[in-house]
Structure 1
């Protein structure tokens, strides 16, 4: 069995049915623990040396917009810290539901906060540019549940807060704090003149795919852009560039989206490509802000200083 989701689901069912007191039960529980630890280790790959050009491009092109417009909402099912590191590299501010205390504590009301500059000479608020709201629908490797709260921290304190790949994730997604993320996702889909850009999501999670289809049915001003290499297989293009059949027909939700396009629904756009491709294809609609240019100048200055300190006499 190569499907880790099905395997962990069967293991959890075995423990639920037969318990964990006998020898077999203990073996299964031990395997589940090791599998979950392995998953955590595999997704903990981001550091200061990781190539995050695509993530930086997505943030720069989508989140850098007029401060009077609603903040860009970024929803991800990934546990890793790629977007957090990419935001840090570009001096973006991330609103992720956690406080600015030490350690940061989760509170759903923090999603309603924004970042402004205080200037006694001005009456109107001066909203900070380059701010993005980040919703991690399945949790994060740096979320930990203690006895009384959820904090953002690395280490062994508390228990990890994330939804592991198994069938129960559909039920877990509607428990706090995931329920807050799902609620924000569904609310965003109902907003007028909303565009959802999907990249790197296979539509295999029905609890996320169904709300998207519901938005297409009920929200006439909703627009959907899906970028996925599954829509046209490169080998098929090479064989016959004029007539190809998409592998996306194997997925129920992909079939429905293809059908909408075939019927002339201009709200739906399907692109064949990877996450990196959509990051390159998106246009830069807003010029670099002075704050971003200053951050680059400071980075260049520090790079020179670091190089001088490490140079041999």
Structure 2
């Protein structure tokens, strides 16, 4: 007998269900062992009567809904990869610290590494020996961020500490400070150096699913179209994943011994001329993607002349060209080379018959979110699939809420409960019948 009876349905309405997929006309959700389509229990007929769907059957329904949304003849596909796409969960559903980290985890590392008042640079200035820096809590008091950033009980950072807001104040303070100016600048550089460390990790195909995502979405396009990968991340996971599959990456840098940034590179395709008795045509090379790293990269440096941005090994000495977390991110996006990349992303969003898939992006970055929201509002040919570890309607984010409202008003927007390194790629190709 089905356990999803009237009492369970009423209880679900009171307590709320976990949403797995939602669009303007489909809502797939779960509570315990009960699964629902548009609020009605999903059941199958058997000789003994109606029986609950199994988890594998339910996730199969989610996969069908996803396929219906994405399996159309799109001329352009964009995938936006945010910080959450580098996060890996272990068997206990905790974040595996060897890979991507949350901002709060990075802040805790900054606190611990500066606690002693000294620091050794790893990235920016490896030639420097140990230098004197201010501990994080002393900086917080001096710049007017907070008189106390500590959780006294555990002697660690308070959970309310906001690294982005802190850095915004620190950067502003350092523009005008006179006393101990060098020490303040070194302290800021040390924080940036730690951020680089914490966002640099090797690609492991058994852990990260970037390669599968690139492969799946690329195959949905005609040969003359390139998948556009846009990322806010500094890491090199997309490049490493592409290389593992022998993909060619157009990232805005020239194909020279020392690659130099040249936005015009995105306009080029790889093709060869094929001729026979009856026809002469160009064949486009398969497995080619565009990569727009809109917040910069661990591999970007200013050239010695200061006139160009060049791409080097991520461990090469020198200041990386990156937009660090701060309220100044919006203004920095108008500088080179970020402006060209943002303008290109905006142009991609305006194109007809386009699919945008987001993963690991929380829509907290207002300068990016507003661009997407404007595109959804004004481009009827744009379909947007937003994927995240949770579809909780209580997310503290006005951009997320606005997109939900747009979906409810019949815009082509859908939400999927999925993470890149767990089950997103499975939903895109069809969930396996049996799930352990």
Compute the TM-score of the two structures, normalised by the length of structure 2.
Answer: 0.58
Pairing partner for 2:351 from 187, 191, 196: 191
Higher Cα radius of gyration? 2
Cα offset, 1:66, TM superposition = 4.6
Cα separation, partners in 2 of 1:67 and 1:117, compared to 1, 3 Å: farther
Is the CA contact (8 Å cut-off) linking 2:376 and 2:411 kept in structure 1?
A: no
Cα offset, 1:151, TM superposition = 1.1
Q: Distance in 1 between matches of 2:286 and 2:374?
A: 32
Higher strand content, 1 or 2: 2
Question: Which ranges in structure 1 are unaligned for 5 or more consecutive residues?
Answer: 233-245, 285-313
Cα offset, 1:219, TM superposition = 0.9
Match of 2:185 in 1: 29
Higher alpha-carbon deviation: 67-76 or 112-121:
112-121
Match of 1:110 in 2: 265
Is the CA contact (8 Å cut-off) linking 1:67 and 1:128 kept in structure 2?
A: no
Is the CA contact (8 Å cut-off) linking 2:273 and 2:280 kept in structure 1?
A: no
Higher alpha-carbon deviation: 66-75 or 144-153:
66-75
Match of 1:92 in 2: 247
Match of 2:84 in 1: none
Match of 1:201 in 2: 361
Pairing partner for 1:262 from 395, 400, 408: 408
Higher helix content, 1 or 2: 1
Is the CA contact (8 Å cut-off) linking 2:228 and 2:291 kept in structure 1?
A: yes
- Aligned residue runs from structure 1 range 13-92, under 5 A: 13-16=172-175, 18-19=176-177, 21-23=178-180, 25-47=181-203, 49=204, 51-92=206-247
Q: 1:275-301: CA deviations, max 9, x gaps?
A: 2322221128xxxxxxxxxxxxxxxxx
Compute the TM-score of the two structures, normalised by the length of structure 1.
Answer: 0.79
**SS at 2:301 equivalent:** strand
Question: Which ranges in structure 2 are unaligned for 5 or more consecutive residues?
Answer: 1-148, 150-160, 431-436
Is the CA contact (8 Å cut-off) linking 2:226 and 2:290 kept in structure 1?
A: yes
RMSD of the TM alignment (CA)? 1.9
- Aligned residue runs from structure 1 range 236-247, under 5 A: 246-247=393-394
Q: 1:7-33: CA deviations, max 9, x gaps?
A: 1111111112x33x312x333222111
Match of 2:283 in 1: 126
Q: Distance in 1 between matches of 2:164 and 2:333?
A: 15
Q: Relative contact order, CA 8 A, sep 6+: which one is greater?
A: 2
Is the CA contact (8 Å cut-off) linking 2:363 and 2:369 kept in structure 1?
A: yes
Cα offset, 1:53, TM superposition = 4.1
Q: Distance in 1 between matches of 2:319 and 2:379?
A: 39
Higher alpha-carbon deviation: 158-167 or 181-190:
158-167
- Aligned residue runs from structure 1 range 136-151, under 5 A: 136-146=293-303, 147=305, 148-151=307-310
Q: Distance in 2 between matches of 1:79 and 1:214?
A: 26
